[in-house]
Amino acid sequence: MIRFILKGVLRDRSRSLIPVLIVAIGVTLTVLIYGWMNGVVDNLMRTNAYYNTGHLKVATRAYWTEAEQLPNDLALTGMDRLLTFLHKNYPDVEWKPRIRFGGLLDIPGPNDETREQGPTAGIALDLFESGKWAERRLFKLQESLVKGRLPRTQNEVLLSNQMARSMNIDMGDEATLIGSTMYGGMAMYNFKVVGVLTFGVQLLDRGSMIAHLNAVQRALNMDNACSEIYGIFKNDIYSAERAADIKQDFNRQKSKPDDAFSPQMKLLTDQQGLGELLPVYRSAWLVLLLIFVAAMSIVLWNAGLMAGIRRYGEIGVRLAMGEDKGHLYRMMIAESVIIGLIGSVLGTAIGLAGTYYLQSVGVDISGFMEDASMFIMDRVRARVTPTSYVIGFIPGLLATILGTSISGIGIYKRQTSQLFKELET
């Protein structure tokens, strides 16, 4: 019977072509939007985790309350002891100490007088670490390098391309960081500029300075201290359940509500409003999926009604020959399932092709990110996941079945007494 229905669908294009095209278009849009939203969420989480929030992050309780001001007078002390504890108790997470600092960058002229001066927001990392989770790999320093080279000694630094251009800084220039120490004193420390970077993240490209952790510790008098300790899961996948367990266990052992300088751990979703933003993305995807199903169901309902009018005689003959109304209705549902499958396969193929293209090329959104307050790459790419191969079949099949179910109700309203009159006409 399925073979008979399939032949009818393939041979009579007048009743199958338009529904197949409608389903294919809807499924294509569904797959594309799903891949795009996956890419946006993945970009948002990965970029923030690597550059700003970690999957988990430790700072002092007092530091968290003023984190946007980079208050290194509230930094973590006893860094080595704390890192040993974290590595021992949570070995499935890679822990990274960092210092975030701000200040003025002074570029001296030929007579050691100030030639250029501008504000900078710096990040101190372990630039000489090796391995899969080395900081230079997380920040993609080699790939982001547009001029010069990576540091080889502790006093060499990297600057963002925008900052280097605006201050006319060349490779080999000396740069003096003017800021405040951990204890509130004035800090002045000389660095040598050896490279220029473009991260593709507006917050970093505006005026960033990347320096070695030990050099900044000396410059800001932060011996065995750091601003924050970042944690990244070693499988590179954020697990909300595992992260919550680690946070609860760490804060129970180390964090003291009555001690402002005791360490406190927070999750990725506790920072930068990500906890509120990610559910919004998921809800938006669900709403879009329902909209597509509803829209395609209405269109396919109308298509089913039009097909019913064109097939009025056929349905009448089949009923006059004694075919049961329920059987005829089920046959039409089976026919709609086949049309839905054909349209879904076609739409999924086209949608996946488009998603793979957006995954490899991406879309430049830098024009919308000039005033961004979150870390997100200027070029956002879609992402193909195993779900992308099947997600389109949900609206594709559901819409065709709903459309045919609604339009096919008319079969039960046909009166046998009217059949011969219809056949005569």
Q: What is the DSSP string of 78-101?
A: -HHHHHHHHHHH-TTEEEEEEEEE
- Whether residue 16 is predicted with pLDDT greater than 80 in this model: the reply is no
Q: Once rounded to an integer, what is the mean pLDDT over residues 382-388?
A: 84
- 313: pLDDT strictly greater than 60: no
Q: What percentage of the chain exceeds 90 in pLDDT?
A: 30
pLDDT of 373: 46
Token pair for 309: 């009018």
Q: Round the CA-based radius of gyration of the chain to a whole number and report it.
A: 31
Q: Residue 223: is it exposed, middle or buried by C-beta count within 10 angstroms (0-12/13-18/19+)?
A: exposed
Note whether 177 and 124 are within 8 A (CB).
no
**What's the helix, strand, coil split of the chain in %, to 5?**
55, 20, 25
* Helical ranges in 178-221 per DSSP H: 202-205, 213-219
In a 10 Å sphere around its CB, with 0-12 CB exposed, 13-18 middle and 19+ buried, how is residue 303 labelled? buried
* Contact predicate 47/201, CB 8 Å: yes
State yes or no: pLDDT of 312 exceeds 80: no
Give 98's contacts (C-beta < 8 A, 6+ positions apart): 123, 124, 125, 135, 213, 226, 227, 228, 229, 230
pLDDT (0 to 100) of residue 320: 63
CB atoms within 10 A of CB 361: 11
What is the structure's pLDDT at 74? 92
**Residue-averaged pLDDT of the chain:** 81
Position 211 pLDDT exceeds 80: yes
Closest residue by Cα to residue 242 from 232, 252, 254: 232
Query: Could you read off the pLDDT of 222-237 as tens digits, one per residue?
Result: 999 999 999 999 988 8
Instruction: Write the CA distances from 318 to 5, 43, 322, integer angstroms.
Output: 15, 57, 7
- Tokens 């540091």 belong to 151
Do 289 and 394 contact (CB within 8 A), yes or no?
A: yes
Distance CA 398, CA 404 (A): 10
Please give the pLDDT value at position 325.
Answer: 66
pLDDT bin (cut points 50, 70, 90) of residue 416 is: low
pLDDT at 61 over 60: yes
More confident residue, 282 or 32: 32
Residue 257, pLDDT > 60, answer yes
Phi-psi region of 300 (alpha: psi -120 to 50; beta: other; left: phi over 0): alpha
Local confidence band at 369 (pLDDT 50, 70, 90 cut-offs): very low
d(CA 207, CA 199): 11
Mean pLDDT, residues 395-407: 76
Summarised one tens digit per residue, pLDDT across range 176-190 is 999 899 988 889 999
pLDDT exceeds cutoff 60 at 271 = yes
**Whether pLDDT at 238 is above 70:** yes
The H or E element that residue 3 is part of is helix 2-11
Between residues 307 and 76, which one has the greater pLDDT? Answer: 76
The mean pLDDT of 110-134, rounded to a whole number, is: 86
Cα–Cα distance for residue pair 346/342, rounded to 1 Å: 6
Percentage, residues of the chain above pLDDT 70? 78
Tens of pLDDT, residue by residue over 18-53, are 778 888 888 888 888 888 888 877 777 887 888 888
Would you say the pTM of this structure is higher than 0.75? no
pLDDT of residue 236: 83
Contact in structure between 67 and 383 (CB atoms under 8 Å) = no
> What is the model's pLDDT at position 374?
46
When comparing pLDDT for 254 and 424, which is higher? 254
| Rounded distance between C-alpha atoms, residue 117 and residue 173, angstroms | 13
Give me the pLDDT at residue 14, please. Answer: 57
CA-to-CA distance for 315 and 338, rounded, in angstroms?
19
Query: Helix (H) and strand (E) counts for the chain?
Result: 15, 14
Judged by average pLDDT, the poorest of 33-42, 318-327, 348-357 is: 318-327
